[in-house]
Structure formats: C-alpha cells, structure tokens
A = this chain, B = another copy of it.
Amino acid sequence: MARQSSRTRSSDLIDAIARSLKRHSILSRQDEAALEELEPGTKSLTRGTEFVSQGEQPDASVFVLRGMVGRYHTTQSGNRQYLSLHIAGDFPDLQSLFLQEMDHSLAALDEGEIALIPHEQLKALIVKAPNVATALWRQTLLDAAIFRQAITTNGALTAVQRVAHLFCEQYTRARANDLAEGDTCSLPLSQTQIGQMLGLSIVTVNRALQSLRKSGSAELRGGKLTVRDWSRLQQRASFDRCYLHIELCAEPMATPRGRARTPKRS
C-alpha cells in the first residue's frame, strides 16, 4: 500500500478522480479543492491478482487507474460468479466505506493499476465537500443500476442475448469513459470468465461468440472487443442503455440544469 509522494503524479491522479465524478455530477471549485487534499496510494496489479477478498474489512476504497477489475462471489461449491466489471475511472469498492465486511472479492482481470483512498480521508472529504459526497453516493447508485440489469439479463435472456448484452454494456461504458478506440475496446476475459459472468457453460459461450462473429455483429479476439455492426448487436441483445444513466445526472444545490452529454455512437 505504498503511498505515492511525487507531486505531479499525485495531482494527475486526483485529476482523474475529479474527471470521473464530473462525468455525472457537478463539482464546485471548493469541492475540487477539497479533493486536492486526498493522498491516495497506488498499486500495480498483475492479471489475476485478488486485491480485496470476501470477509475482509478494508480500510481504503479503490479507484481504477488502468486495466480492468472484476467483482465476484465465491459460491459454497467453490465456483466463481462475476458480478460486475470495472474500467479506468470506476470506483469498484465504495461500499466498503459504509459496510464493514466484504461480501464479495475484487481482482484484476488484466495488468493494471489502482489508487487506494483511505476511508478516513474519504469520510473527512464527505463532511467537507457535500457535492463530492453526493457524487460518490451517485456512483454507488449507478453501480446498483448495473447490478439490477444483470439480474434481468441473467434471468430473462438466452445465451446469445446475454453475451451480446455484455458486449453492448462494456462497449458503451468504455466509450463513456473515453476508453474506446473507434469500434474497439478492451475486454480481457476468457470464455470461461464470460460464462462465470453470465451463468453459462464455456461451451455455450463459445457457440454464442461464434454466432455473433458469423452474423457480423461483434467479435472478441485477444482481449479486444470489436463491434462490427452496432445496431444489429444492440438489437440481438435488446440493449437499452437508459439504465447506465450516462447523461449528467444532477446538479449541486441550486444550479441551472446541466446540458445532457450524448456521446456519439459508431
């Protein structure tokens, strides 16, 4: 948990955090000043590293700087069920700020880097900067909306639909976080992991991927997702991005309504 002291490096990091919050919330100059006082540590992760475990009581929350992070339950039979994926700009673990014990684990799905923000600093920040507090709260609500969608996806869609839906969600989120390159974004999951995410066997995942590839909708190769035909993909998935609440969600106390950001599609 090496604390990062380099002046420039640390302010880059805080910029990244501020930018992330400003995607959905409006921060005042005072809020941004309060953010400056954070002193997050950073940590590099290799693919597969579990850095928060079910049952633990972390004393810091995580912000993803680079790479992809997965949350998962470990079932009594030892199987893994992925719950959500997180990319650079996400806070995958704000819940540990207010719930003592982790009910799931977090691991890097890729080589990456995270920032660790001590809970005491976050709690101080929340008192000092109420707009940051609501922005972080909102962040946890956005996560919850994604969880709810996963319930529906896993409960009501066929195998191909589920895979297509996962692709739509990841690609849309990547674009919203400025991480997509044209029709491509990073998705470093094995077919086994996709299965553990969607409640499918590896064989079924494989056939679903082939179906999407052969129909020219999208393909996954070498950890990169390429969207070949967005509207077809979206259609096969019954994807409706409203649950992602990508538009600016809310204003601070008494401020003119924000312009809705509508990121262009491929």
Contact = CB atoms under 8 A, between A and B. Distances in A.
Interface of A: 71, 73, 75-77, 79, 81, 83, 94-95, 98-101, 103-104, 123, 126-127, 130, 133-134, 137-138, 140-145, 147-152, 154-156, 198-199, 238, 240, 242-243, 245, 247, 249-250, 253
A200 to B, nearest CB: 9
A101 B245 contact: yes
Q: Which of A75, A98, A250: most chain B CB closer than 10 A?
A: A98
Nearest to A143: B144
Given A140-B144, A148-B73, A238-B75, A81 B155 contact: yes
Contact of A154 (B73, B101, B133, B199): B199
Interface of A is mostly: helix
A156 B98 contact: no
A98 B155 CA distance: 27
Nearest to A136: B137
12 contacts: A73-B148, A83-B151, A98-B141, A98-B249, A99-B245, A99-B250, A100-B249, A103-B145, A126-B134, A137-B137, A147-B148, A151-B151
Contact of A100 (B76, B133, B250): B250
B198 A104 contact: no
A242 B156 contact: no
Contacts of A143: 144
Contact of A103 (B71, B99, B148): B148
A154 B151 CA distance: 7
Contact of A98 (B103, B134, B151, B238): B134
Q: Which of A101, A155, A199, A250: most chain B CB closer than 10 A?
A: A155
B101 A138 contact: no
Contacts of A101: 242, 245
Contact of A95 (B83, B144, B238): B144
B155 A198 contact: yes
Given A155-B198, A156-B199, A243 B103 contact: yes
A103 B100 CA distance: 29
A98 B130 contact: no
